[in-house]
Structure 1
Amino acid sequence: MDLTCAEQIEVMIHAEKDFRILKDPRVLATMYNQERRFTPQCNYFLEVQTEIQPFMRQVVTTWMHEVCEEQMCEDQVFPLAVNCMDRFLCLCPIKRQQLQLLGAVCLLIASKLRSTNSFPIEILCAYTDYSVSHANMVAWELLVLSKLKWNVASITGFDYIDQIIEMFPWGSESNLLHRHARTLVSISYTDSKLIRTPPSLIAAACLTSAIRGLRLRSTNQAVNDICRIAAVSPASLDTYVRIVDEAVERSVPRSPPSSPEPKIQGYESPQHGPNTPTEVENIYF
């Protein structure tokens, strides 16, 4: 008997906001306590991986982001997929030719947890120009889950955005704040400098960058509130905001185009996919 859920939901229906959760400080406290379990614990470029370099991660995470954008999946899928990939790379050395396979598998896993419709394996194989087979995906899915001990419901920077915004009056000053902050969170997960940064601090930096970019009336108060709630000094927060802003600048297309980015052996950017996140063009600083 086949018990597989095969229905496909054409229109994403989001649950209404539950303000009893969003305005309860105990939820944030629990998230802060739990996020340590899901933050990569080492610099795997130096301690675990012998072939993987930061620019390779940049290429593959950008590809993962483009896949999510083109497939119009939920915003939280991409940060979760990157978190799973980073945690796996802290545990298991791989060859550079296997990095895109790992990224595709992590997208598959994340979509099953955070998306209305999970990615079909065939679609992910197509995005790799069929350099990855269906059998590879199935085998590596089990490998990743076993290495992570099935603890894949990670807390990411995305999870903090609504929780923080809804706690303060300045959160309602612009209806663009949620979208811009979420977009910045996605972009920040492509930057290898933030691999070991707690998701609460990533969210704080992205919110601060979005608030300053939108020039909210209560910008100073908002930044003070974020520093207080994230338990970070303004100077430290500014350091992370600069990293986020630099990541945004790298993701914006330039004219004339800059020199081609380095490519990993066995990996080519999908010709049919978008080159940059769609919503980045709507952010003004």
Structure 2
Amino acid sequence: MEHQLLCCEVETIRRAYLDANLLNDRVLQTMLKAEETCSPSVSYFKCVQKEILPYMRKIVATWMLEKSRLQLLGATCMFVASKMKETIPLTAEKLCIYTDNSIRPDELLQMELLLVNKLKWNLAAMTPHDFIEHFLTKMPLAEDTKQIIRKHAQTFVALCATDIKFISNPPSMIAAGSVVAAVQGLHLGNTNTFLSYQCLTHFLSQVIKCDPDCLRACQEQIESLLESSLRQAQQHNVSSETKTVEDEADLSCTPTDVRDVNI
């Protein structure tokens, strides 16, 4: 069976209704201005820290490192982010368990204080997820269609966070590219003229005020990243199945008789 990105999971957490006042054009324009201050420097691997290299970014984003301080910082960022965004935030104790108790709750709280001081308490940074709802609100689509596009786009945004190539793209462009990639992958443009590749790309490029070619390049990078990730997952599954079959074959073999062993 081919790998398919269905994104049909149903969210069980209760969330507040969307406020239409927070989805108007004035808010979007403010977000587009604010995102310029939230983009990291492309050279931060050389200037800010030297322990993590660009090719390690995916590992850092998906798994805990042995470096205790980096692990503590990553857990603290998740701790603060969950307080800002989640209905039920992560607890300090649960995060410590996730790190196999390599950090203590008091260390996490101390690092939290250091983190918010370094950020000067400016914790509402713009992320691609913040723009997705603005784009969907402007698209004349049925709610069930928006829901499936939303799920796919959020998955693509999470995938982009693991790849260094997207660090130079503003959050709005990653969000727009993810929406276009989602629509393309679902083949929705075949039945809706507005969702055709050219129309949707032109529309979103006008919304975020960027060159359509830049948006297309970002969308193509996202599709390329998805393709390589699915390929790696498929290879991993095949190798795991092969190993399981080999292990079962070893167990099913009759043990060598002691008298047949030549020393």
Based on CA coordinates, which of the two structures has the bigger radius of gyration?
2
Which residue number corresponds to residue 121 of structure 2?
Answer: 150
2:32 matched to 1:32? yes
**Letter of the structure 2 residue corresponding to residue 45 of structure 1:** F
Selected match of 2:215 from 224, 237, 261? 237
SS at match of 1:113: helix
Q: Residues 37-86 of structure 1, C-alpha deviation per residue, up to 9 Å, x if partnerless?
A: 2221342112221211123331121138xxxxxxxxxxxxxxxxxxxxxx
State how far apart, in whole Å, the 1-side matches of 2:58 and 2:167 are: 11
Gaps of 5+ in 1: 1-10, 65-94, 260-285
Given residue 76 of structure 2, which amino acid in structure 1 is its aligned partner? V
SS in 1 for 2:28: helix
**Higher helix proportion:** 2
Q: 2:227 & 2:161 partners in 1: Cα distance?
A: 14
Quick one: which amino acid aligns to residue 55 of structure 2? F
Residue aligning to 2:180: 208
CA contact (8 A) 1:60 1:100 kept: no
Give the 3 Å change call, closer, same or farther, for CA 178–123 of structure 1 in structure 2.
same
Deviation at 1:236, TM superposition (A): 1.3
**1:63 maps to what in 2?**
63
Q: Which moved more, 1:34-43 or 1:247-256?
A: 247-256
Q: Tell me the alpha carbon deviations over residues 181-209 of structure 1, each in whole angstroms, 9 at most, x when there is no partner.
A: 11111211121222232111111111111
Matches within 5 A, 1:105-184: 105-170=76-141, 174=145, 175-184=147-156
* SS of corresponding position for 2:162: coil
CA contact (8 A) 1:161 1:207 kept: yes
Using the TM superposition, give the Cα deviation of residue 177 of structure 1 relative to its aligned residue in structure 2, in angstroms. Answer: 0.9
- Deviations 1:80-112 (Å, cap 9, x if unpaired)? xxxxxxxxxxxxxxx955222211110000011
SS at match of 1:17: coil
Partner amino acid for 1:155? M
2:72 paired residue number? 101
1:136 Cα offset (Å): 2.3
Whole-angstrom CA distance in 1 between matches of 2:142 and 2:46:
40
Do structure 1's residue 14 and structure 2's residue 15 form an aligned pair? yes
Quickly say closer, same or farther: Cα 1:177–1:132, change in 2 above 3 A: same
- Partner SS for 2:200: helix
Give 1:159's aligned amino acid: D
Match of 1:254 in 2: 234
Query: Which deviates more from structure 2 when the two are superposed, residues 143-152 or residues 227-236?
Result: 227-236
Aligned to 2:170: 198
Corresponding residue SS for 1:59? helix
**TM-score, with normalisation over the residues of structure 2?**
0.75
Work out whether residues 180 and 210 of structure 1, in 8 Å CA contact, stay in contact via their aligned partners in 2. Answer: yes
Which runs of structure 2 are paired with 1:41-60 in the superposition (5 Å)? 41-60=41-60
TM-score, normalisation: structure 1: 0.69
Assess, with a 3 A threshold, how the Cα gap between structure 1 residues 59 and 171 changes in structure 2: closer, same or farther: farther
User: Which stretches in structure 2 are left out of the alignment for 5+ residues?
Assistant: 1-11, 240-263
CA RMSD of aligned residues (A): 2.5
Which one scores higher on RCO, CA 8 angstroms, separation ≥ 6?
1
Cα distance change of structure 1 residues 196 and 96 upon mapping to structure 2, 3 Å threshold: farther
SS at match of 1:166: helix
For 1:62 and 1:98, the matched residues in 2 are separated by 17
3-state SS, counterpart of residue 60 of structure 1: helix
Give the drift of 1:256: 4.4
The CA distance in 2 between the partners of 1:140 and 1:192, in whole Å, is 25
Q: Equivalents in 2 of 1:258, 1:106: separation in Å?
A: 35
Distance 2:50 2:41 in 1: 17
In structure 1, the residue corresponding to 2:31 is in which secondary structure? helix
Counterpart of 2:221, as a letter, is: I
